[in-house]
Structure 1
Amino acid sequence: MPAHEPTDLDAVIDALYARPLEEFIAARDAAVRQIADGGDRLSAERVKRLPKPSVAAWVINRVARDHPEEIGALADLGDELRSATQDRDRGRIRALDHLRRERTEALVRTVREAGEVGGRTVSSAVLDRLTETLTAAVMDPDAAAVVRAGRVSRALQHVGFGIVDEQGEEAELVALHVVRDGDGAGGGPGAEDGADGEDGPDGEDAAGPDAASAETDLTAAERAVDETSAHVDELEERRDEVRERIRTADAAVEHGQDEVERLDQELERLTAERDAARQALGEAREAADEARADLAAVEDELDDAVERAAEARRRRRAARGR
């Protein structure tokens, strides 16, 4: 069997899940081609099956990378809770559960106040899924391992019977440690115990054509899951955008209603002032007209008085001249 270059799957997977969300598919396909060109077909198939994270999962992975100490503290808290549960120490269980809520709320509050993660705006729905996933990481050690590694493909939720993903399906919490076989080939997420990665003489897996056919079917099914999940992510982003537009529009409507009410009140006040001013104007005009009439009468009387005075002076001069 020709030798192939060993693949550091941990490094490949970490690099993929650390990339911007919109680059994941192209980066994964490029990694698959590079690994396959190196001769490690089994590792290439395993990388090819890695699902693109949902929006919420990408945010969770970024938070895990940005806040490793807080995530580690929550995971350690889960170990303490399981130990207290095994010991049936109710007092310690209550204290640890209270601490879990405090630490979870503190981390979610940090993300909420930042308003974004890695340049991506974080919606309230994503914050809810972050809270649920952090809780799942406390309650389940496998969930804690996936979250701490920053390799969540779907947000997680702890329910009565275990861990489910954000679509309500049983979560696939794959192994994180790379399994090395005899010739140095890497295993990875989704690798089964005991898989040795050897190829048969005709280039197929040792399990034969049935296993190869099953693997092809699985690859096709997982790709379909990727595509439909990507569509769900796209629709959820559009839904969040529309909800934000609605919130903005509702706020504008409320502001507009308040402004209309204020202007109506102002208009009512100004209308009352206008009516009062009009009444005062009318009264002033009436007073002016009355004053003008009085002035005309006084002027007539004055003219008569002036004429009588002049006549009296004339009579006086005439009397003096006699």
Structure 2
Amino acid sequence: MAADLDPVADELYALPRDEFTAARNAAAKRARQNGDKTLAEQIQALRRPSTAAWLANLLSREHPDEVRALVVDLGDGLRAAQDQLEGEALRRLSQQRHEVVHGLVEQARALARSTGNPPSDAVTRELENTFTAAVNSSTAAEAVAGGRLTSALDPAEAGGLLGTTTTPPPAKQHGDDGPKREERLRRDLEQARSTAADADAARDKAERELTDAESAADDAAATLRELRSHIEAVEQAEHDTRTRARSAEREVDAADRAAREAQRRVLDLERRLDQH
């Protein structure tokens, strides 16, 4: 990343995930207004992190020394040791790696819960994959420690590391004269700009749809919690009502017995009076 891009990227990837897109677009707009088109394009190219990537970034920013010690320093040691071990030693090494990954995942889950967004099972699996990739690969380890992941990492590939991509330079065309080559490059540039604009628009639309879907899911979860709370209240009310009904039934039985006893007393007194 360019030097001027670093502080902007650091600021964006430190934001809550649902604030990323609006903040990125605003930062790109400011860069364009300041006349820095290159920086504006670089900022606009930054991708919104997935939920798992955002949690990994959050952990790296909240506990940078601990994350670097585990995924970079310890990871280097584990990878170096793996080349020299076999059998039982390798199994112990594998267990140690598993413990490191599990500890990182639990820390990230705790951070997620502290923000009011407990991770789903799918996000937890992506975190496991990401930290496993970081322990297995020095490149992935540096990416995790850098706090700018945009998607979960695959232990087999360790891809999706940063929010920017590097485009290789076009192959040199032999036999081109200057004016024709420049004209073709201008056409290619216009086409590339059009394609990039369309891609940006599609990405922004997809991000808005994702935000809407996540918001709808959150609303549904809140409604479900409310319904469950209501059901629990109704069940408690039913329990209390049935308890009162059973108590009233016992009182009715007792009153009925007392009434019958009183009636027998009346009849007995009436018979005794008649005998006199």
Alignment TM-score, normalising by the size of structure 2: 0.73
> Does structure 2 conserve the Cα–Cα contact (< 8 Å) formed by 1:54 and 1:233?
no
> Does structure 1 conserve the Cα–Cα contact (< 8 Å) formed by 2:59 and 2:111?
no
2:157 paired residue among 162, 169, 173: 162
- Distance in 2 between the 1:67 and 1:275 partners? 68
SS of match in other structure, 2:154: strand
Return the offset for 1:244: 4.6
2:166 paired residue among 191, 202, 222: 191
1:52 matched to which residue of 2?
A: 48
Return the offset for 1:50: 0.9
Distance 1:255 1:27, change over 3 A: closer
Query: How many aligned positions are there?
Result: 263
Return the offset for 1:87: 3.5
Return the offset for 1:49: 0.9
Q: How does 1:163-182 map to 2 (within 5 A)?
A: 163=158, 171-174=159-162
- Distance in 1 between the 2:208 and 2:129 partners? 21
Question: Which amino acid letter does the alignment assign opposite residue 190 of structure 1?
Answer: T
1:287 matched to which residue of 2?
A: 264
Question: Which amino acid letter does the alignment assign opposite residue 165 of structure 2?
Answer: G
Return the offset for 1:227: 2.6
> Does structure 1 conserve the Cα–Cα contact (< 8 Å) formed by 2:60 and 2:147?
yes
1:242 matched to which residue of 2?
A: 220
Cα root mean square deviation, aligned: 3.8
2:22 matched to which residue of 1?
A: 26
> Does structure 2 conserve the Cα–Cα contact (< 8 Å) formed by 1:137 and 1:143?
yes
1:231 matched to which residue of 2?
A: 209
Rg larger in structure: 1
> Does structure 2 conserve the Cα–Cα contact (< 8 Å) formed by 1:138 and 1:144?
yes
1:35 matched to which residue of 2?
A: 31
Distance 1:245 1:136, change over 3 A: farther
Given the alignment of the two structures, is residue 95 of structure 1 paired with residue 92 of structure 2, yes or no?
A: yes
1:317 matched to which residue of 2?
A: none
Q: How does 1:212-227 map to 2 (within 5 A)?
A: 213-227=191-205
> Does structure 2 conserve the Cα–Cα contact (< 8 Å) formed by 1:53 and 1:152?
yes
- Distance in 2 between the 1:90 and 1:34 partners? 58
Q: Percent identity?
A: 27
> Does structure 1 conserve the Cα–Cα contact (< 8 Å) formed by 2:59 and 2:107?
no
Q: How does 1:248-259 map to 2 (within 5 A)?
A: 248-250=226-228, 252-253=230-231, 256-257=234-235
Return the offset for 1:114: 5.6
2:173 matched to which residue of 1?
A: none
Q: What residue ranges of structure 2 are gaps of 5+ in the alignment?
A: 171-181
> Once the two structures are superposed, what CA deviation does each residue of 1:118-172 show, in whole Å capped at 9, x if it has no partner?
x453343544543443333223333322221111222x1436x424xxxxxxx43
Question: Which amino acid letter does the alignment assign opposite residue 157 of structure 2?
Answer: G
Q: What residue ranges of structure 1 are gaps of 5+ in the alignment?
A: 1-5, 164-170, 176-188, 196-203, 302-322
- Distance in 1 between the 2:90 and 2:185 partners? 48
1:135 matched to which residue of 2?
A: 132
Q: How does 1:113-128 map to 2 (within 5 A)?
A: 113=110, 116-117=113-114, 119-125=115-121, 126-128=123-125
Return the offset for 1:13: 1.0
Distance 1:44 1:83, change over 3 A: same
Alignment TM-score, normalising by the size of structure 1: 0.65
1:104 paired residue among 78, 101, 105: 101
1:152 matched to which residue of 2?
A: 149
Return the offset for 1:235: 0.7
> Does structure 2 conserve the Cα–Cα contact (< 8 Å) formed by 1:49 and 1:223?
no
Return the offset for 1:277: 0.9
Question: Which amino acid letter does the alignment assign opposite residue 238 of structure 2?
Answer: V
Per residue, is there more helix in 1 or in 2? 2
1:8 paired residue among 4, 25, 47: 4
- Distance in 2 between the 1:120 and 1:223 partners? 30
